[in-house]
Structure 1
């Protein structure tokens, strides 16, 4: 299953690969070179297909838990001052996505979308300390009665040149469902209440819509 954001690119890639393969077969007479070029085209096609894959996730809805919005590796867990929306201290958990990860962004909690804003910006590498403030990004806040307000921020990286955000103001968010897409590598930051019980560790690999990032302390 492929994400709708990739349909156009996949079709164009197929046309390019098939056309190039026909040219190689017609004009390249050296067998080893022909084989190498055809294999290169196949690898290119496979990379594009895997990047836009959208595997089904088995989300267990739980109002007491925050799920990872994306696939990737946890690279930040720290207390920070969130400047844009809360303007107070929050726990930040950041997940970095490599180009081989699934790049679908999913709602970390269910609730109402009470804030959604796009920011144009730079394309610093996703792990750069200033990436969350200076790179192209979107900020979304979802609120529910159980967990309160959770902010997640899609951040473009050095390769990502387009962030897609489906979360519009007053939308009803459903935990684990698609809320956006980031093309070609980047990261997502979560900003959680200070009394949140963090359930992940640095460098831990997580799956969007399934891995538990945090839960309410009981």
Structure 2
């Protein structure tokens, strides 16, 4: 529990994610400059950009629901776009969630867990319509394991985005369910689940990070 508390204290609790401060700051600077110069059209455009960045990098508080200790919560906001059965020896199901610019981009821990693998791959930010995007786009893979050795893998892959996938966690550390661990603006998240898992999501469902239930370990 002590390790979880330390990680949560490192999280940014301000209404704007720290990853967005530079975007907001620069756009505010341009807005101030164009206001001084009296360039109305550019002043209006720069103000619209400020509002856009404030929206994209918003960092709302989320109250943790009272679910069972074996629960797994959604790590991202978005829409469930596919639920697949796998023949993999380690994972039996894959849930894919599409996070767009209209969704909150903050990443939240799906369970109380140790981080047994954190692997970041730098790459492109191509549209997923591009046939090489899945192989070349930037992504982060994280394996979470609870105290009962139940394990899931979460893969965040960025699409066309302002920034890459940013995570603030380290391998071999512990994290509390619902704790913030990074941000992804406009991307796809794949959740890989074991055979001993009871899935609660349905295709097309709009989900909310740390509030929507993925399911339970049996």
Q: TM-score with structure 2 length normalisation?
A: 0.83
Determine helix, strand or coil for the equivalent of 2:60.
coil
The total of aligned residue pairs comes to 203
Residues 156-176 of structure 1 deviation map (CA, whole Å, 9 limit, x = unaligned): 112254111122111111111
- Consecutive unaligned residues of structure 1, counting only runs of 5 or more, are 29-33
Question: Please, which runs of 5 or more residues in structure 2 have no aligned partner?
Answer: 1-14
Please point out which of 33, 36, 51 is paired with 1:19: 33
Deviation, 1:126, is 4.4
Distance between the aligned counterparts of 1:127 and 1:58, measured in 2? 36
Partner of 2:16: 2
Deviation at 1:37, TM superposition (A): 4.8
**Mapped partners of 1:127, 1:67: distance in 2:** 29
Q: Deviation per CA, 1:112-154, whole angstroms, max 9, x where unpaired?
A: 1111111123333347787554421111111013470111111
2: distance between equivalents of 1:132 and 1:66?
26
Q: Cα–Cα, structure 1 residues 161 and 37, in superposed 2: closer, same or farther, change >3 Å?
A: closer
In structure 2, distance between residues paired with 1:39 and 1:121: 34
CA distance in 2, matches of 1:164, 1:135: 14
Q: Determine if the alignment matches structure 1 residue 78 to structure 2 residue 99.
A: no
Contact 1:131 1:155 (8 Å CA) reproduced: no
Aligned-pair Cα RMSD in Å: 2.3
**Structure 1 pair 37–15 and aligned structure 2 pair: CA distance change class (3 A):** closer
Corresponding position of 1:92: 94
Name the residue aligned to 2:5. Answer: none
Q: Distance in 2 between matches of 1:160 and 1:67?
A: 26
Deviations 1:30-63 (A, max 9, x none): xxxx4x5544333221111011110000113642
Render the CA deviation track for 1:168-187: whole Å, top value 9, x for unaligned. Answer: 111111111111112x3112
TM-score by length of 1: 0.83
Tell me which residue corresponds to 1:192.
Answer: 193
Q: 1:162 to 1:134 in 2, by over 3 A?
A: same
Which residue matches 1:63? 69
Equivalent-residue separation in structure 1 for 2:115 and 2:131 (angstroms): 27
- Runs of 4+ with >4 A deviation: 126-133
Structure 2 distance, partners of 1:187, 1:143, is 22
For the pair shown, the structure with the greater C-alpha radius of gyration is 1
Q: What's the offset of the Cα at 1:80?
A: 2.9
| Distance in 1, Cα, partners of 2:95 & 2:153 | 11
